[in-house]
Structure 1
């Protein structure tokens, strides 16, 4: 399940309340019990969608403007002590997962320009607001930690928006919607400026701290594959769900789910086959059900397809495997 820092979530709720949403609209979100300083990304997206439906356009801009380094834990502290502005973007790329695991960042520097790419598919309305807020926040953070008026030279969003001038005024550069990528583009020279509280030793300490936090998250990530395996096993007999359906259940896009599995050197198809294999061998070993019934219970519409798959997994036909137990 995709998650996000509770500080970002709480600020979104407070902003929505201040702009006119009532406690009746937000009661469920206000009362949500936060655990480990994180909330499901699904909840933040729902708040964003309520705001998009009932409030003035541009909630993402206003949300991004109110976010600062104090909302981002150890990552926020590292931004303050970075040596240069470019280090802020490098740390976002390396440690975005500490704030949210919905999406990823790429950086590319060439021809005097530095391009930050936000890989996050726009699979629902709330993602549009999240992407807008992320870019507004990043520009604000660069200005906060350097004390300079750092502006991008181009901003691109994959989604549509009715009035690009609304964002152009803030970014002070061309803002394009319906683009092929979500990108912030800077003149590389402006990112070489020093930060106000640059401290090499404290920053190194914070980098080590973030590596530890990232390692703990990686251990917790086993929960993701456990949830997928549980879902696949429970639904196998009624029809194996698609990766999009599993992603919806976990609160993330199919592309994000593919990426998170790829980070573990796994694919969705491999997990399906693993669960089919495990279920099939368990039923052949511990039940009296026919091979045809087991084929159905493991998600195969035809016994012949099951027989071929099982022989590929074990080197034996199902009946042969059962006979040799």
Structure 2
């Protein structure tokens, strides 16, 4: 009887649950799970070379660039004709760019990021006498580049070795572009060419005053962009090549080709000798080169997570950066970059 009781009171056995085909997820002790989104930002490089005869005064171009909140840049080309009225053409372009930079913190622009609105506010606040061609470009976090342009400053987007977008100049007639002016007879923000383009990761933006695009061809731009290690180097190389072409009287430049197509050429008797209008156009040369980059941004924090690679499942693998991504500081440049 005792033996029988002992057998009934033996230690019970516990059955283990069946093994799960999915291993448990191991939660990190060091970083909480955070939602993140991809945002577009610009890495910006700039370079300015004044007209050879205006190097001492810094030239008449002005620009600013800012990589914060996606990215924005602007270029103003002072109209040299004002010098005939004893007015320094650089004063208007410099003040216009300084005001454009200052208005970036305006509450309205913080919300809608509209370059035409920025141009309106900057122009209204500019008190200097003069006029300028101008272009302003602002990148939204979604990757849309918004552009407002008055005159013949240019902008091109290069993707995979090809120009996939380019804006057209506005002009009254050859060599007389639209211009923002201190005079009521001039153009205003309402006359701006307004457009937008959706950009992709890795796209390159090349913008500049007419001193760049009058002296350099698209294929040369593409070649320099592909060979340059960064945006700063690309901007400098483009400016220096444009300067080289501008003083070359034997170079058949985009400017000379356009002039001939508009009926401007050498006298007929020179044509009989085989001559034609050629040569570069000496001018101030301002270049902005920007690269589009997609970054991962935590939705609940201000830090930036830079996208490093994508794994086999299509999931972004990222490393967190401390603080915000390094970018160009706000700078109003008024031809203070002289020739090196």
- Normalising by structure 1, we get a TM-score of 0.23
| CA radius of gyration, larger in | 2
Q: By percentage of residues, which structure has more helix?
A: 1
Q: By percentage of residues, which structure has more strand?
A: 2
The higher-RCO structure (CA 8 Å, 6+ apart) is 2
